[in-house]
Amino acid sequence: MTVQWLSKPREYSTWWCTAITIAGNRGENPTTIHNHTNLAMSADPTTAQQYTAHPRGQGAAHTVKSQQPADQETFNGQAAHILVAGGGTAGHIEPAMAVADALRDQYGARVTALGTTRGLETDLVPARGFPLATITAVPIPRKPSKALLQVPGKLVRALRETRDILRRNHIDCVVGFGSYVSAPAYLAAKSLRIPFVVHEANARAGLANKLGVALGGLGLNAQPESGLTGEVVGLPVRNTMAALQDPQQLAALKQQAAQHFGLSLDKPTLLVTGGSQGAVALNEALAGAMDALVDAGVQVVHAYGKKNAAPSPRPGVVAVPYIERMDLAYAIADLVVCRSGAMTVAEITASRTPAVYVPLPHGNGEQALNARSVVAAGGAQLVNNAEFTADYVRDTVVPLVSDPQALAAMRTALAATQTTDAATAVADRVMAVVRSRRHR
């Protein structure tokens, strides 16, 4: 395997070169799946159940639903087998699952997800009915440290595990979504001459996806000008978001949501969520303004994060560490306060729920960019993290969530934004790649 191309993009550091060279020289003939690799696959896609075993006692075993397509596109009698690589947080997993749904439901493809035992994928993927294969996690420290020195060795191990998964399961195409499992997936696919597709969700492309395109992957973008070469197709969201755009389905979901959360449909409802990890700054501002919200008759659904302390119980306030049914949360919410990760913005826009976005103040500033178009359209507001205080909630959020006319104008603006079925668009391009490979 050559690494000459790495001398051009300066952002790829020396350890990438070292790890890729080692992997190319030493990873050609894996013969066994390592003990820490978790693989749940059935040779027959119509098998009623598939079992996911967690290695070394990590996590619980899952029984997942069979992949039963209505129509199946086959090649020499075999359905295409796609590996989707997206793990860690819901922002990486949900787009992968949306594309997996489209591949299964529209093309009858078999789909396996690639992740690690450390992320939310251990719960979210089996719950969506897909088998999960896990490899060694290769997080990339942002600063020089001992952990940074360990990255090449971990990457070599992850590459061997991924190559083994690709070979054993006769994968036709890999689709990566930029998580820390994507880089090993791109490298392994390249080394085995398996085509791969790279989807970038953020307004600024990350390192793993830039690597994927540099290796020859087909680039796809959720937004223009991300810095990643490729077509703009939008961001895949779970298909339950489409129901929120239909008035009759929305009314039914509101009723279901009221029962699910134990809330009234006659009072304004504020949804506050920090995503799958929670957000301490949002939690603190909300706690400081809770009296003002309750006094104004505002109900609150608060996802405070699994790693954060639960707030004190209050009447009319539903506080949970994580919301499994986000479609119900969006259905009952009149206004959302949240971070502006790419997936969050895409789902809220698709659900046509007005929002106040508080971008994460770290990283490369992509969260503020993710929300720029919907804010410009009038469907959302944007406030800096440092300015999102209890006073801001009292002075801005409480009046907004209590103003039906202002919220109606924001919903109208959201309805006017152009949305596409990005999951189908990505699935279409993946299958085109598979056809090209199979017919060569």
Strand 49-52 with 62-65, pairing: antiparallel
- Amino acid of residue 419: T
Are 131 and 159 a contacting pair, CB within 8 Å?
Answer: no
Q: Is 169 annotated as a binding residue?
A: no
Q: Is 91 annotated as a binding residue?
A: yes
Q: Is 89 annotated as a binding residue?
A: yes
Q: Is 52 annotated as a binding residue?
A: no
Handedness of CA 76, 71, 235, 151 (dihedral sign): negative
Q: How far apart are CA 247 and CA 434, in angstroms?
A: 38
Q: What is the DSSP string of 280-339?
A: HHHHHHHHHHHHHHHHTT-EEEEE--TTSPPPPP-TTEEEES--S-HHHHHHH-SEEEE-
Tokens for 197?
A: 């597709």
Q: Is 276 annotated as a binding residue?
A: yes
Handedness of CA 364, 368, 369, 371 (dihedral sign): positive
Burial of 373 (0-12, 13-18, 19+ CB in 10 A): middle
Q: Is 323 annotated as a binding residue?
A: yes
Q: Is 249 annotated as a binding residue?
A: no
Q: Is 273 annotated as a binding residue?
A: no
Tokens for 165?
A: 């998964």
Q: How far apart are CA 287 and CA 298, in angstroms?
A: 14
Q: Give the residue numbers of the binding site for UDP-N-acetyl-alpha-D-glucosamine.
A: 89-91, 202, 238, 276, 323, 367
Q: Give the residue numbers of the binding site.
A: 89-91, 202, 238, 276, 323, 367
